[in-house]
Amino acid sequence: MNPDDALHESPDENRRRTIVDMLVDGEAVDKSALRDALNDAGTRDYFIDALLLRQLAVAMAPNTFRAEARPPAPAARVLRWSAAAVAALTTAVAGYTLGREHTVPPTVSESRTVEAARPSVPAPEPTRTIRFEPGKNWISSMEGQ
């Protein structure tokens, strides 16, 4: 496609707009040619619209790249994992040490419970002692008594 397609400009209009384009795009222009171009109402409108279009294009979306969107560099990632590992190890060691220093001894109430479980009255002496004899049928002899 030819870049001049879709432009329906007279040679004079083209010349005046070229001067405005150059001014808008930061190039040096001849001041009498600029004065002549801006004497034309249509060219003045084109000049204003060119500036407005630039403003709209700049304002339509963010203009600054957000650094936090970038993935961290490999070195930073290694450093972050190392810091996490050190923190976890420190926490574990500190927990173990504190746990050892503050071990709770068996409470007095536990030993009292054991004493209270003992019968207050001693058991009676056995009236009869049966000796263990392998192979003997105790049940049937008990039935015979």
Partner 1 sequence: MKAQALFTAHRDGVFRYLTRIVGPSEASDLTQEVFLRVTRAAVPETTRNGERAWVFSIARNLALNHQRDRDRRPETVALDDAARPASQDTAVAMRQALGRLAPLDRDVFVLREVVGLSYDEIAGSCDLTADAVRARLRRSRVQLRDALAPLLLNGSTPSVRLYEP
Contact range with partner 1 by CB under 8 A, out of 30-38, 41-49, 75-83, 86-94: 41-49
- For position 71 contacting partner 1 by CB under 8 A, the verdict is yes
Task: Tokens 């700049």: give the residue.
Answer: 58
- For position 10 contacting partner 1 by CB under 8 A, the verdict is no
CB nearer partner 1, residue 69 or residue 121: 69
- For position 46 contacting partner 1 by CB under 8 A, the verdict is yes
- For position 109 contacting partner 1 by CB under 8 A, the verdict is no
- For position 64 contacting partner 1 by CB under 8 A, the verdict is yes
CA angle 69–70–72, rounded 5-degree value: 125
- For position 1 contacting partner 1 by CB under 8 A, the verdict is yes
- For position 136 contacting partner 1 by CB under 8 A, the verdict is no
Q: How far is CA 57 from CA 3, 7, 13, 54, 64, in A?
A: 21, 21, 25, 5, 14
- For position 52 contacting partner 1 by CB under 8 A, the verdict is yes
Q: Single out the residue of 10, 32, 55, 107 in contact with partner 1 (rule: CB under 8 A).
A: 55
| 17 within 8 A of 9, measured Cβ to Cβ | yes
Q: How many CA within 13 A on the CB side of residue 133?
A: 7
Q: Single out the residue of 30, 35, 51, 77 in contact with partner 1 (rule: CB under 8 A).
A: 51
| Buried/exposed code over 114-134 (b: 16+ C-beta within 10 A; e: otherwise) | eeeeeeeeeeeeeeeeeeeee
Positions touching partner 1 (CB under 8 A) are 1, 3-7, 17-18, 21, 24-26, 46, 48-66, 69-71
